[in-house]
A = this chain, B = another copy of it.
């Protein structure tokens, strides 16, 4: 995360450049497609060799200016990066490996061309860091906000796909990494604190908010080991993930407040009840797994191979229905959050 002030507004805009010049800039940045992409950017559609013996996994998610990001806060390269990563995180939650991304941009006429280039750069970097290629998309004008919509395609092995719906009573709930960082990063940004005065923990929280990473390796390794009964990503917060996983599995679930791993330095930005904010706040892009007790050892072995990532036991799947928070010996319903029209 750069602490530099956002983009200058001088210089040419996307309207000055025109659509065909914008396409040429994207093609130049995207580079040569890998061999499994038979036809990439520039025809009516992309043509892709299907995964050999595997399954196609497809997801789409959009970032809308002033809903999901503010151009005054986040540099355009990070906007492009994050638009891809939110999709890669969905692939991670299925245990899939990314192969191709498609980019739809709705562009305000006044968007500086330099910002356009930076958004595309972020998209290409995030895709290629995950082994995926930018294979197509389209550009439209927007009379309103900038919209960056990404579709990501990946592959998964048969009978190794993770879903939300396989959890059974008695399974253990694990979350990767830690939570609350993205919510704290948003708080730091929204209070307008000069980046030059940020401490390292503040910087780390803003990075979680603006430049997340998808837990692809972890999702893949746990899926390959068949070590989890279900998985979901934390795009709408840990509480929501627990609730969604339980609902999709037709079970109940409970989260133990004392076990939730908070990101260091996040709590002080999260108001009077940091834990509540941390689990309600979305955008941490960690993974929540349910693990049958007999697969616990296999799960830990898979996570141990996930480079510097840990998984923390935070609760359990229980009989019945509903999602519960156990805190100071009290059991209360997890407050409802957002649900995602997701796939």
Contact = CB atoms under 8 A, between A and B. Distances in A.
Interface in A39-67: 39-51, 54-67
Contacts of A48: 55-58
Interface in A124-151: 135-145, 147, 149, 151
A173 interface: no
A106 B340 contact: no
A153 interface: yes
Contacts of A135: 58, 343
A136 B59 contact: yes
Contact of A343 (B41, B64, B341): B41
Contacts of A142: 64, 67, 144-145, 147
Contacts of A19: 338-341
B94 A26 contact: no
Given A149-B149, A248-B43, A64 B341 contact: no
A58 B102 contact: yes
B342 A43 contact: yes
B145 A46 contact: no
Interface residues of A, number: 76
Nearest to A144: B144
Given A58-B153, A142-B67, A93 B45 contact: yes
B40 A343 contact: yes
A165 B43 contact: yes
A37 to B, nearest CB: 10
Interface of A: 19-20, 22-23, 26, 38-51, 54-68, 89-91, 93-94, 96, 100, 102, 104, 106, 135-145, 147, 149, 151-154, 156, 161, 163-165, 231-233, 248, 338-343
